[in-house]
């Protein structure tokens, strides 16, 4: 019998590319999208009711409460989706002997202010904001509830569908701002791993098709950047005239503190599935796909 995989968050930025890569790879398994209209993860009891009634071999969770600043004043909402719902998913998966492939975040890290070395899968979580805490707790609860859990941590995503499937993402924001203003001030004291959703989706589909050991995997494009360095490359490759200048986080006040360093070490996933492309290559591909690449 063909393997049957359920996909939560199918129309979000990453979920879109999981569906796209799955189709491009010849549909190696049946993929069943389950959108919010079918299953609201914030509604207590809904997961047991719906997932309990379905047959499946794996569940991919690309759904999440992703509004990092809003989470600071809505911890209940963030924990409902990113922790309690994930725990309930893991419990149902365990009862059905199904694998849970859950997407998590580099924002489970950041609390170690002195950190200057890429974070490995076994480094201790140390979130600096409510969103990060809700994701870290989600991972932990999933592992406690079930054995066959794959946690795929990723970071700073950009993909053609845009956040929430609404076409907007960090690259689009930079391009729009660079078109509207002569000067772009971008923080230069937060270093991270810019990552294309399509590269994460490729790994997720390979994991489901070919299998992998349960555990945590850091799935990010190779190399790191500060937001300033990332913005410079976007503006240069899109041929925009705006001047990009560095600034400190304090000059750009937001509600949720951000990690100063959340670069993920992707050696484990690269050893299992081949080297991850560098973010510069992924950015170039994204700009070419969206017809903005000039150099
Ligand atoms: N974006 C990043 O930079 C980033 C960085 C690190 C890790 N991640 C992680 O990567 C994963 C995918 O992120 P993304 O960028 O693809 O996010 P996204 O575009 O915001 O998509 C999130 C998806 O979750 C769904 N969702 C939210 N609340 C829900 C609820 N109560 N019930 C059912 N569905 C709900 C959304 O549905 P609607 O479309 O109906 O709102 C949307 O499809 C998440 O786990 C996120 O934490 C993201």
H or E, element range at 61: strand 58-61
Of 125, 249, 250, 118, give the one whose Cα is nearest residue 193: 118
Tens-digit pLDDT profile for residues 221-267? 999 999 999 999 999 999 999 999 999 999 988 999 999 999 999 99
Instruction: Provide the pLDDT for residue 295.
Output: 66
From the CB of 266, is ligand 1 less than 6 Å away? no
Q: Is 262 in the pocket of ligand 1 (CB under 6 A)?
A: no
Q: Looking at residues 201-220, what average pLDDT do you find?
A: 98
Residue nearest to atom 14 of ligand 1 (CA): 13
- State the Rg of the chain over Cα: 19
Spell out the residues 6+ positions from residue 207 whose beta carbon is closer than 8 angstroms to its own: 101, 150, 152, 217, 273
Name the residue of 6, 10, 12 whose CB sits within 8 Å of the most ligand 1 atoms, as the mutation to test its pocket. Answer: 12
Percent of the chain with pLDDT over 90: 94
In angstroms, the CA 34 to CA 293 distance is 34
Mean pLDDT of 30-48: 96
Cα(138)–Cα(92) distance, integer angstroms = 15
Contacts of 164 (CB under 8 A, 6+ apart): 12, 13, 66
Mean pLDDT for all residues in the chain: 96
Of 200 and 113, the one with more pLDDT: 200
Ligand 1 touching residue 13 (CB < 6 A): yes
Each residue's pLDDT tens digit, 66-113: 999 999 999 999 999 999 999 999 999 999 999 999 999 999 999 998
Is the predicted pLDDT of residue 5 greater than 70, yes or no? yes
What is the number of the ligand 1 atom nearest to the C-alpha of 102? Answer: 45
pLDDT of residue 46 exceeding 90:
yes
Per-residue pLDDT tens over the stretch 118-170: 999 999 999 999 999 999 999 999 999 999 999 999 999 999 998 877 778 99
Owner of token pair 């019998």: 1
Evaluate: CB of 11 within 6 angstroms of ligand 1. Answer: yes
Any idea of the CA torsion for 264, 208, 205, 275, to the nearest 10 degrees?
40
Top mutation candidate among 43, 60, 64 for ligand 1, by most atoms within 8 Å of CB: 64
What pLDDT does 113 receive? 83
Q: What is the pLDDT of residues 56-65, one digit of tens each?
A: 999 999 999 9
CA of 161: how far to CAs of 13, 66, 157, 167, 179, in Å?
A: 5, 15, 11, 5, 21
Query: Which of these, 214, 197, 207, lies nearest to 273 by C-alpha position?
Result: 207
The pLDDT value given to residue 167 = 74
Identify the structural domains of the chain with CATH numbers, from first to last: 4-162+195-221+263-277 (3.40.50.720)
Instruction: Please list the active-site residues.
Output: 131
- How far does the centroid of ligand 1 lie from the alpha carbon of residue 164, in Å? 6
Cβ of 64 closer than 6 Å to ligand 1, yes or no, is yes
Which of 258, 256, 257 has the alpha carbon at shortest distance from 73? 256
Q: How far apart are CA 237 and CA 224, in angstroms?
A: 17
For residue 170, the ligand 1 atom closest to its alpha carbon is 3
Q: Answer whether 0.75 is exceeded by the pTM.
A: yes
| pLDDT computed for residue 249 by the predictor | 96
Q: Report the separation in Å between the CA atom of 138 and the middle of ligand 1, taken as the mean of its atom positions.
A: 14
Q: Is 157 in the pocket of ligand 1 (CB under 6 A)?
A: yes
């Amino acid at each position: 019998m063909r393997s049957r995989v359920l996909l939560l968050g199918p129309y979000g930025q990453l979920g879109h590319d999981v569906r796209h890569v799955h189709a491009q790879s010849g549909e190696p398994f049946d993929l069943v999208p389950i959108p919010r209209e079918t299953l609201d993860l914030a509604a207590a009891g809904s997961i047991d009711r719906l997932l309990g009634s379905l047959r499946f071999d794996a569940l991919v969770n690309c759904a999440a409460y992703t509004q990092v600043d809003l989470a600071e004043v809505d911890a209940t909402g963030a924990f409902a989706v990113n922790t309690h719902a994930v725990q309930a998913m893991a419990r149902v998966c365990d009862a059905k002997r199904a694998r849970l492939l859950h997407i998590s975040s580099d924002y489970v890290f950041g609390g170690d202010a002195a950190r200057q070395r890429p974070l490995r899968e076994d480094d201790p979580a140390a979130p600096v904001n409510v969103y990060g805490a809700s994701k870290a707790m989600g991972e932990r609860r999933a592992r406690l509830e079930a054995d066959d859990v794959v946690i795929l941590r990723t970071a700073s995503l950009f993909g053609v569908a845009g956040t929430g499937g609404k076409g907007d993402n960090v690259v689009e924001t930079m391009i729009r701002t660079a078109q509207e203003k002569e000067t772009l001030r971008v923080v230069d004291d937060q270093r991270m791993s810019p990552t294309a959703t399509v590269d994460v989706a490729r790994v997720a589909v390979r994991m489901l098709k070919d299998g992998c050991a349960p555990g945590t995997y850091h799935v990010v494009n190779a190399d790191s950047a500060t937001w300033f360095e990332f913005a410079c490359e976007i503006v240069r490759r899109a041929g925009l005239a705006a001047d990009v200048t560095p600034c400190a986080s304090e000059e750009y006040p937001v509600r949720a503190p951000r990690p100063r360093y959340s670069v993920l070490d992707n050696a484990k996933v690269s050893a299992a599935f081949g080297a991850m492309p560098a973010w510069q290559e992924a950015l170039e591909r994204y700009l070419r796909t969206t017809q903005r690449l000039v150099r």
